[in-house]
Structure 1
Amino acid sequence: MPFARPARPTALLLCGAVLLTGCAAADPPDAKSAKTAVTLENCGRTVRVDSPPRRAVALNQGAAEIMLSLGLADRMAGTATWTDPVLKGLEKANAQVPRIADNSPSFERVLDADPDFVAASFESTLGKGGVATREQFGKLGVPAYVAPSDCAGKDNTGDGDGAREKPLGIDAVYTEIHDLARIFDVEDRGDELVTELERRMDEATSGIDASGVSLLFWFANAESPYMAGCCGAPGIMTRALGARNVFDDTHEEWPQINWETVADRDPDVLVVGDLTRKSQTAESAKRKIAFLESDPVTRNMTAVRKKRYVLLSGQALNPTLRTVEGVERVAAALREFGLAG
């Protein structure tokens, strides 16, 4: 399911302030790097990268969009596991990078890209049943990195999408950006991107008060819907805006909850995932809304009757740099609905 020195100033000046799209690497692609090895403690493992990667593979869209935002397209050998169109502004950079698979690729297809570094947004991607384990990549000399947001205060040992022991903070996403910027030796770009995201968060939440407003976050699946628990990326949004998730009493990341229970909680606003993938039922927002307005259990819910829908990408509903976009869109919608100052 839902499932290291700074770059040259001249290169940075050519990059945008919001996303460093299409920005060339600090050195020519064929240059030999003499930089000091980077060693990180990452999700309970030590990751050592001897030199800035030249053939990185992003195994999930979230990791891919961070790399692209850091201007690293020319150092990427492939991407995989996409739920949405690429983030606006990254189209040209993304077009330079081979798409290994729209969904989870095989280990062999990843190896065909001859990677020197792989990054994933979820531990499950680099675990049993995923693309391959970190040990499998390690035996081939390929460092493997997992987004800190998927392991900080989270238990991923169960069969589902894991459970949060404590609420996730947006700082975990910023840590991922800083880590990848350090690994690729573009730390100034990482600082610039995080500063811009912090500015957007501050602007979106300035003066807003959504206390008393209840939200429900629906990722996918009509028969056994995946709804957000208390403490993942949707929790970042609700806490930032002062609102409440109607399923804040569960610590599971994306529990499957029956519609009778959903209707009983009767949220004020429905935040629905607008996905383009086709691995579950009701992936797109259009299909979700059609279901909500026709099903006898859901059509009389307050949010459905008043058409209080907020459409978010799958990437905004997971802990990624697009979670900031999620905060912005939910904040704007609550103001539009007259539910927040």
Structure 2
Amino acid sequence: MQTARLARPSALFAAASLLLAGCGDAGTSATTAAVSLDNCGRTVRVEAPPERAVSLNQGTTEIMLSLGLADRMAGTATWTDPVMKGLEKANAKVARIADNNPSFERVLDAEPDFVAASFVSTLGKGGVATRDQFEKLGVPTYVSPSDCAGKDNSGDGDGARTDPLTAETVYGEVRDLAAVFGVKERGEELVAELKARMAKATAGIDASDVTLLYWFANSESPYMAGCCGAPGVMTRALGAKNVFDDTHDEWPQINWETVADRDPDVLVIGDLTRRSQTAESAEKKIAFLESDPVTRNMTAVRHQRYVLLSGQAMNPTIRTIEGVERVAAGLREFGLVK
């Protein structure tokens, strides 16, 4: 068994080299030209459009599926929610190699020629494997810029933002992946669609008097959004205020007494289907809020002002636009916008 493990990397390298060479010979110059990207502090060079890509997080998976790349994907992993609406058929064509982080060996079994992840930690120490481990085998890697641009991931938590995330960074990821796969036109179409949805959701809305709180997971030591990640994109787009905009940590764990003291007007709640934390689903979160003596008298709880979002909408992904739409719709429904 150990011998087989040691032999695998060299076999993968040979297969990947042959695949890249074959792709380069078969295609047209418009789709097979090498692509070089500056990505999270390193240069990524892809010699030809990938044919066996593996996406290690749902965020990168949904971008690839939205770009019509299901037939060029060898596997996906790490899911918090059902796939984005409209992508069900495409997603069904792609093997799910793990619901959470797969082992390095399991990814290699898929014989990838390109590996993408939404988070630095996924392709870092303690994650699936480091970027160097893949790249030593000739497999290019890509990490979502939204998890490294203006962000410090050196601590033990989910990192801290030195600069607020913007939707443009998310659009940049779409364009990067479209370039890698030789489908730039599709990338521009998807970006234009996302921008139009953002403009429609925020048209004529003024939530400057509204305070929000974003709860991702865990009822014992809850993860609440700081100022500047994906929830920050939503908050700024609507002109509202996050009650924890005084912290730059991505998802600080904050006690309920402090939460109750901030007393937000609206609670934006993660409705997750995974089972790695307590109170993952919105149903369990709301049951906790309405029964706990510390939280049940909060303004948002008393008025049942809840906006439910997928975990992906609360992460920096193309579904962050979905988050803007849903929060805007909720604020209108609650009569809180001008």
Is there any run of 5+ residues in structure 2 with no aligned partner, and where? 1-22
Scaled by the length of structure 2, the TM-score of the pair is 0.92
1:192 is matched with which residue? Answer: 189
Q: Percent identity?
A: 79
1:110-166: per-residue Cα shift (whole Å, max 9, x none)? 111000000000000000000000000001100000000001100001100000001
- Provide the residue aligned with 1:32 in structure 2: 26
Residue of structure 2 in register with 1:158 after alignment: 155
* Inter-partner Cα distance in structure 1 for 2:222 and 2:307: 17
Following the alignment from structure 2 to structure 1, what is the Cα–Cα distance between the partners of residues 101 and 241? 33
Q: Which residue of 2 aligns with 1:309?
A: 306
User: In the TM superposition, what are the counterparts of 1:1-341 in structure 2 within 5 Å?
Assistant: 32-33=26-27, 35-341=32-338
Q: What amino acid does structure 2 have at the position aligned with 1:32? A: A
Give 1:229's aligned amino acid: G
Q: Give the count of matched residue pairs.
A: 313
2:38 aligns to what SS in structure 1? strand
Q: CA-to-partner distance for each residue in 1:155-181, whole Å, 9 max, x for gaps?
A: 001100000001110001000000000
- The amino acid that maps onto 1:329 is R
SS at match of 1:115: coil
Distance across 1 between alignment mates of 2:49 and 2:87: 22
| Structure 1 unpaired stretches of 5+ | 1-28
Q: In structure 2, how many angstroms separate the alpha carbons of the residues matched to 1:163 and 1:259?
A: 21
**What is the DSSP-based 3-state SS (H/G/I as helix, E as strand, rest coil) of the residue aligned with 1:77?**
strand
**Structure 1 counterpart SS, 2:26:** coil
Residues in 2 aligned to 1:104 and 1:266: alpha-carbon distance in whole angstroms: 36
Tell me the TM-score normalised to structure 1 length.
0.91
C-alpha distance in structure 1 between counterparts of 2:140 and 2:268, whole Å? 36
How far 1:36 sits from its partner (Å)? 1.4
CA contact (8 A) 2:263 2:298 kept: yes
Counterpart in 2 of 1:18? none
Distance 1:36 1:201 in 2: 33
1:219-276, Cα deviation, whole Å (9 max, x unpaired)? 0000000000000000000000000000000000000000000000000000000000
8 Å CA contact 2:24–2:47 kept in 1: the answer is: no
Q: Cα RMSD over matched residues?
A: 1.1
Shift of 1:31: 8.2
Deviation for aligned residue 1:32:
2.6
- Give the secondary-structure state (helix, strand or coil) at the position aligned to 1:39: strand
- 2:206–2:239: 8 Å Cα contact kept in structure 1? yes
Once residues 222 and 332 of structure 1 are traced to their aligned partners in structure 2, the CA distance between those partners, rounded to angstroms, is 26
2:190 aligned partner, one-letter code:
L
Moved over 2 A (4+): 29-34
Measured after TM superposition, the shift of residue 30 of structure 1 is 11
Letter aligned with residue 302 of structure 1:
T
Q: More helix by proportion, 1 or 2? A: 2
Distance 1:336 1:31, change over 3 A: farther
